[in-house]
Structure 1
């Protein structure tokens, strides 16, 4: 059975696929400082160098053969230009000088996929399989749209987009927000649009006795905000969440298991 193992202390995971080790991250949001300046008039020092160095260091530290970005490699929607494009060019070149890079198209990536098609392997927005598909057992999607029902044949489905976070309070009323992983058994009926009905000429699998695990990745970019998953009334972003995770545990980046994310 395929396994996806978080890298302790980092918003990243590794998966061993048919002799190839993949390093997986989600929501890099390169150029976020440019976007915040344009969208909100917020001036922040760029952390482009730190993001690039962290990614390259993780490739080396995990002995990865490939980097997989689960969507939103870029921050601004549309064709990248200016400082954002320069950051993307430098980041992609730094990674691909070491290992191949796969981008799962997110809602911010249409312009990126077109601009860097020669440098990236691209998986479409409905997702797909890594490695020798589908025998690798690891499926990926970004999470902003309904995924391909075929992903239900995987052992593990990895998704981004949600930027899960938990709000933690101490005994004297202090609080902090931490990025978190969500992991649990996937509910196939909630993962597929119009489950039970024909969709694009195909039905979801009839045998859901052994559904895959769903792993919701924290955002790689610590400035990108997120969904406070343990706050009552919080709206989720992915169309299949939270329904597709009827029971799931939250984990901090350091590996601390918090238990059912709804009860944290």
Structure 2
């Protein structure tokens, strides 16, 4: 789906997941697992749903096996409730993290629902902060810089930029070949000729508008190459709702969307290209 000069990010057909070839490492990327969502819905809305914790864990482990991944990267919101994990939610997280890390290392890019998760599982996870980081640049993995721009030109450093998307990104993510994010839970509402409709999870991707992607629009002048592509991941958890990207009046969640994606295409999980998400 998205390819930079030295790395690639390709969806797993039929799944809300992608694989990234980072040169020295093959990573499976997912976003918005929302472990414990049934517990959260019970407290938040009084909604009783059977837990799909086992199914979510098995799907992740199966995807790791099918893709032969060396690492799992969660693009934020591994957990659901915006609080330190406890009770049934913590039990689900413990079981899920143990099942994954018995196989491969696991990286969490902190999301707005991950308060306390990084601290609670510090011994088990590699953590990238809320402003994002770059994987695979020079064969390494780490957080982005401090967010300051000295006004000079920047050379493309390569790699895959990763962030959740609920806060403004560090400008250094513009050095990546491609940037991957979650948070938005993009969906498309599709109607048939007799008035029926359905909602499906979707991918969004297109070239970033650097001036809209970072808070300081002056940093746009420091990008001296074609900007990276942005890939907005569908939510891994099908119960977590989302933004209907092709319906007028829907507010985007990320502070830089939709402006940072001026010409983005939408794709269904099965790979069907729907074209510009604004015109679906």
The aligned counterpart of 2:212 is 190
**C-alpha distance in structure 2 between counterparts of 1:35 and 1:21, whole Å:** 33
Deviation at 1:101, TM superposition (A): 0.2
Task: Say which of 118, 125, 132 aligns to 2:130.
Answer: 125
Question: Does residue 165 of structure 2 align to residue 143 of structure 1?
Answer: yes
Task: Say which of 234, 256, 259 aligns to 2:250.
Answer: 234
- 1:32-43 superposed matches below 5 A: 32-43=37-48
**C-alpha distance in structure 2 between counterparts of 1:212 and 1:183, whole Å:** 10
- 1:68-217 superposed matches below 5 A: 68-131=73-136, 132-133=139-140, 135-196=157-218, 203=219, 206-217=222-233
Deviations 1:126-146 (A, max 9, x none): 000113348552010000000
**C-alpha distance in structure 2 between counterparts of 1:174 and 1:126, whole Å:** 41
Task: Say which of 255, 261, 271 aligns to 1:245.
Answer: 261
- 1:52-71 superposed matches below 5 A: 52-71=57-76
Maintained 8 Å contact 2:207/2:230: yes
**C-alpha distance in structure 1 between counterparts of 2:240 and 2:228, whole Å:** 28
Alignment TM-score, normalising by the size of structure 2:
0.90
Number of matched pairs: 258
Any stretches of 5+ residues in structure 1 without a counterpart?
A: 197-202
Deviation at 1:78, TM superposition (A): 1.3
Maintained 8 Å contact 1:17/1:136: no
**C-alpha distance in structure 1 between counterparts of 2:38 and 2:110, whole Å:** 21
**C-alpha distance in structure 2 between counterparts of 1:133 and 1:207, whole Å:** 22
Deviation at 1:195, TM superposition (A): 1.2
Q: Which runs of 4+ in 1 moved over 2 A?
A: 131-136
Alignment TM-score, normalising by the size of structure 1:
0.96
Any stretches of 5+ residues in structure 2 without a counterpart?
A: 142-156
Task: Say which of 13, 21, 43 aligns to 2:26.
Answer: 21
**C-alpha distance in structure 2 between counterparts of 1:235 and 1:223, whole Å:** 19
Deviation at 1:207, TM superposition (A): 2.9
